[in-house]
Amino acid sequence: MPDQTIDPELISDVLSLQRVAMQLSLASRRRLAIEIEGFGLTVPQFIALRALSNAPEGLTMSELADASQQLSATMTGIIDRLVERNIVQRQRNPDDRRSLRISLSESGKHLIQQIEDQQIKRMTRVFRLLSAFERKEMLRLLTLYLETTLAELPESQPVHP
Amino acid sequence: MPDQTIDPELISDVLSLQRVAMQLSLASRRRLAIEIEGFGLTVPQFIALRALSNAPEGLTMSELADASQQLSATMTGIIDRLVERNIVQRQRNPDDRRSLRISLSESGKHLIQQIEDQQIKRMTRVFRLLSAFERKEMLRLLTLYLETTLAELPESQPVHP
DNA sequence: TATTGTTATACTCTATAACTATA
DNA sequence: TATAGTTATAGAGTATAACAATA
């Protein structure tokens, strides 16, 4: 049986952390949306491209849907629009003709690289304000929080752990 | 002119932080969507309700749109659906009959309270794993990151700073 | 029969532009 | 004329269910 003692300091910290974490989550998504809009992408499209860029050999629609936390019916539309713009390719799998192999095109690879370069540049501006120790501490705490968050999602199988 | 020295440790930390922060931002939004779906709400609806719950006297459509980082044309539809379900109220402002006063109904207040209770309970389970010092450190670092993120958004005027 | 992926349908959100009512 | 808010329209994502092709 876990310790149910009421710790007023814990309660007060959690209230603050809840508020900041919620605002940060919403603001980050918003900033991401603005950042990638400059490249003509939506957030779900970018999530799919990120998953594909971690899988050089490509992914099936089901793998992509799992990795993006989307239904495969939704994935179809997202990939349709990326194929139209020649950002990804759709190929039949000769071994199992039911399944498809989705992969980044050359211009898709270039696009995602550009976006990630821009993101790294921005993050570097922020994190050079912190000491090496603080950066490690932040990484450790964020990773812990990420793990508990992922544990609460169904089927969250990152393609690259 | 800022220090442009290449610090390999900084670069490596930023790569890790960028990856974790991105995943966390996406996973948090996803978890929020699942959590509030149980209450029949969408994320944009929840964002609007949160802004309203911090403004007991209500907000105009423009204030609500600013606080939610939405266009007022978008806000109209979001509020339409919340009014239909009697979660918020729309009242003409007698002083300036062009503007509206949007506020939570009693059942809306109850709904947002239920959701926030559930979120606090979940966050408490996570953060009781950390020491008081670690919680404070996390709050400090997240706040710093939130501030730089908000600074990059246009017109991000939180109703409650 | 089971699996992979798509199509059909309905709803929500987002963005732009045109519009109404009020100031 | 300017401001507050809505409507019209188009496109994108989300969820459910029914479906085709392949295994």
Mean pLDDT value across residues B43-67: 98
Relative to beta strand A100-104, strand A88-92 is antiparallel
Are B67 and B157 in contact by the 8 Å Cβ rule? The answer is yes
Burial code (b: 16+ CB inside 10 Å, e: under 16) for A54-88 equals ebeebbbbebbbbbbbbeeeebeebbeebeeeebb
| DSSP H stretches of helix in chain A | 8-37, 43-53, 61-67, 72-84, 106-127, 132-151
Q: Which amino acid is at A82?
A: L
Q: Which amino acid is at A139?
A: L
Question: Any atom of strand D under 7 A from CB of B61?
Answer: yes
Question: Any atom of strand C under 7 A from CB of B39?
Answer: no
pLDDT in tens, B68-113: 999 999 999 999 999 999 999 999 999 999 999 999 999 999 999 9
Q: Write out which nucleotides of chain D lie closer than 7 A to a protein Cβ.
A: 3-8, 12-18, 21-23
Among residues A119, A110, A67, the alpha carbon closest in space to that of B21 is found at A119
A18 to B152: CB separation less than 8 angstroms, yes or no: no
pLDDT in tens, A29-44: 999 999 999 999 999 9
pLDDT in tens, A47-100: 999 999 999 999 999 999 999 999 999 999 999 999 999 999 999 999 999 999
For B76, residues 6+ apart whose C-beta sits below 8 A from its C-beta are: B61
Give the nucleotide with minimal C1' distance to the Cα of B80. D6
Structural domains in chain A plus CATH codes: 8-151 (1.10.10.10)
Residue nearest to nucleotide D21 (CA to C1'): A98
Please name the residue of chain B whose CA is at the shortest distance from the CA of residue A160. B19
Where does residue B146 fall: left (phi above 0), alpha (psi -120 to 50 degrees), or beta otherwise? Answer: alpha
Q: Kindly state the tokens that stand for A79.
A: 């990939």
For B36, residues 6+ apart whose C-beta sits below 8 A from its C-beta are: B42, B43, B45, B46, B115
Give the nucleotide with minimal C1' distance to the Cα of B93. D4
User: Residue B112 CA to C10 C1' — how many Å?
Assistant: 27
pLDDT at residue B4 in the model: 61
Strand D close residues, chain A 67-86, CB < 7 angstroms: 70-71, 73-74, 77-78, 81
Residue B53 has pLDDT above 60, yes or no: yes
User: Residue A73 CA to D22 C1' — how many Å?
Assistant: 18
Question: Any atom of strand D under 7 A from CB of B37?
Answer: yes
User: Residue B19 CA to C3 C1' — how many Å?
Assistant: 33
Q: Kindly state the tokens that stand for B104.
A: 């939570």
Regarding predicted confidence, which is higher, B4 or B110? B110
At residue A18, the 3 state secondary structure works out as helix
pLDDT at residue A2 in the model: 54
Contacts of B118 in chain A (CB under 8 A): none
Contacts of A131 in chain B (CB under 8 A): none
pLDDT at residue B160 in the model: 40
Burial code (b: 16+ CB inside 10 Å, e: under 16) for B45-60 equals bbbbbbbbbebeebbb
Are B141 and A137 in contact by the 8 Å Cβ rule? The answer is yes
